[in-house]
Amino acid sequence: MSLSLALMFVSFILLCATTLASDPDPVQDYCLPNLKSGTIRTPHHTILPCRNSSEAITNDFVFSGMKAPGNFTNMGLAAISVNPTIFPGINTLGMSFVRADLKVGGINPPHFHPRATEIAYIVKGSVYSGFVDSTNRVFARVIEQGEVMVFPRGLVHFQMNVGKKPATVFGSFNSQNPGMQKIPAAIFGSGINDKLLEKAFGLSPKQIAMMRRRFDK
């Protein structure tokens, strides 16, 4: 292999590694964020500077804010998302999580997380859960209390309480900043041209206006 070809190959590998990198590996036991000093932005990550480790206390590694449901939306969903800004102990550990409560018939509408795979554990209830792969094949079934389903990174997924009682789901992500885009809000609440939406979905201007009112941010 020539030197130029070898250098090109190494450059390609480094580019792929940089492009595909998820959360960076920690370089110390823990990093409790110093929220007063702002954030450090790199090409691929937003970093919260660390406090002095001598200031750490046990409560920094315990979170008590998921004991009760959050506020319910008109879709019957209450979600409490937990990230390092409210739970310092998980900063730099490459994880975050969420408590989701669903009223009877409530839904977690189709959405996706661009930066994380999700594991959903059914704490109680019966929840129709699933995702759609890149060939538009749907993988869905009702999962019961004690069961787990995985939603691969970047794929659209959804949930609906099909039981006769409220349901609770615990979701865990392999990123401290998984991101989320709700499909209805992204399409009808983002300012995409009306004519394009009419042609894409076969909807009338009146229907588009109704959807915009419903999902406009």
Could you give all domains of the chain from N- to C-terminal order, each with its CATH number?
Answer: 1-179 (2.60.120.10), 181-217 (no CATH)
What is the pTM for the complete model shown?
0.80
Query: pLDDT per residue over 125-161, tens digit each?
Result: 999 999 999 999 999 999 999 999 999 999 999 999 9
Residue type, 77: L
Structural contact between residues 45 and 24, judged by C-beta atoms closer than 8 angstroms: yes
More confident residue, 209 or 3: 209
Q: Kindly tell me if the per-residue pLDDT of 66 is higher than 80.
A: yes
Give me the phi and psi of 100, to 5 degrees please. -125, 125
pLDDT band at 44 (very low <50, low <70, confident <90, very high): very low
Question: What pLDDT does 72 receive?
Answer: 97
CB-based contacts of 56-60 (< 8 A; 24+ apart in sequence): 56/30, 56/32, 60/32, 60/88, 60/89
Phi-psi region for residue 115, left (φ > 0), alpha (ψ -120 to 50) or beta? alpha
Question: What pLDDT does 131 receive?
Answer: 98
